[in-house]
A = this chain, B = another copy of it.
């Protein structure tokens, strides 16, 4: 009755701390059936007599059996794994995004493999290849370069881009209407009578930065306020310590007429805030500030920041949902979901002209 499988002898090895993995084979043996029957009993497919089913479950429980996903993935189609690539988890924006993604996916029984590329394209591409190697059922990409997207799409992996559009065909996109949000923010300043408005951006290569800058220009145009190049600061590539701070400081110093600043994201807003403080300029009396993206600190400081609130967590879960739709029901056409941000007016903006 106690048949010994070919691999059974390895159990006899020195008890080097942990005992060997429990396999389905052992469970079946314990329950006195064959592997296939045990598989059916646990999986709930096909016919298995009630008492046998019960016996198998008991055996599995007793031995602490945990099915091996590698084997299952190898045999079947799905790995139940989704890749998530972000560019900086220390940035609250990405952390929230990741949280939203994780929640939705784990509710749906998927595991999330996280890669943080720290903004480096090469690393993003490596991550993409790793996802491929794991046979990830799908991948979510938050701002990174084109290569990662291309690698994945080329290999037929469903991709959802979050908060950016690489332009690669065939992948879903979930993004914020940056242009609109930026326009609202700047329009708000204009309504308050500001005419000399500076803008600080991170980058202008990708949709996020480009569109926000565009929104700024559109708002100005609509109000027939001239667009001045010297009031625009693009911090792209100023990664060195203090370089970005200096650039923001220089912008403020070189344009003393400026009465309001539009910061295109949370990182930039932080810089602007600090540099204004350092110069002893009061917000909003000396200078109004609007931020694109609303984070914890903006609600803690005094005055609280007027900001364009993005539903970040929701964006993550929305993207995850979109991906699941694609994976589960095999939707073919790529979809683009644009979420609308919302301007939250708080204390960092006030009427212009209170200065002199």
Contacts and interface: CB of A to CB of B under 8 A. Distances in A.
Interface of A: 17-19, 21, 64, 66-71, 73-74, 79, 81, 84, 88-90, 92, 95-96, 98-99, 102-103, 106, 111-116, 118, 123, 127, 129-130, 132-135, 154-156, 270, 273-274, 277, 295-297, 300-302, 313, 332
Nearest to A89: B99
24 contacts: A18-B155, A18-B156, A19-B156, A66-B132, A66-B133, A69-B70, A69-B135, A70-B71, A81-B113, A90-B96, A90-B99, A92-B92, A103-B118, A106-B123, A111-B113, A111-B134, A112-B114, A112-B115, A113-B113, A114-B114, A270-B296, A300-B301, A301-B301, A302-B302
A19 to B, nearest CB: 7
B95 A89 contact: yes
Contacts of A69: 70, 133-135
Contacts of A90: 95-96, 99, 313
Nearest to A76: B70
A254 to B, nearest CB: 25
Copies in the complex: 2
A305 to B, nearest CB: 10
Nearest to A106: B115
Nearest to A296: B297
Nearest to A115: B106
Nearest to A151: B64
A204 B42 CA distance: 41
A116 B106 CA distance: 9
Contacts of A102: 89, 114-116
Contacts of A95: 89-90, 92, 95, 98
A107 to B, nearest CB: 10
Contact of A68 (B92, B135, B274): B135
Contact of A155 (B64, B127, B270, B274): B64
Contacts of A133: 66-69
B113 A114 contact: yes
A130 B66 CA distance: 9
A304 B21 CA distance: 53
Contacts of A74: 68, 70-71, 74
Given A70-B73, A274-B300, A301-B301, 10 more contacts: A66-B155, A90-B96, A90-B99, A95-B98, A102-B114, A103-B116, A106-B115, A113-B114, A273-B300, A300-B300
Contacts of A64: 154-155
A127 B270 CA distance: 36
A70 B135 contact: yes
A127 to B, nearest CB: 8
A205 to B, nearest CB: 24
A17 B270 CA distance: 45
Chain B CB within 10 Å — which of A71, A98, A155, A300 has the most? A300
Contacts of A17: 156, 332
A155 B135 CA distance: 26
Nearest to A91: B95
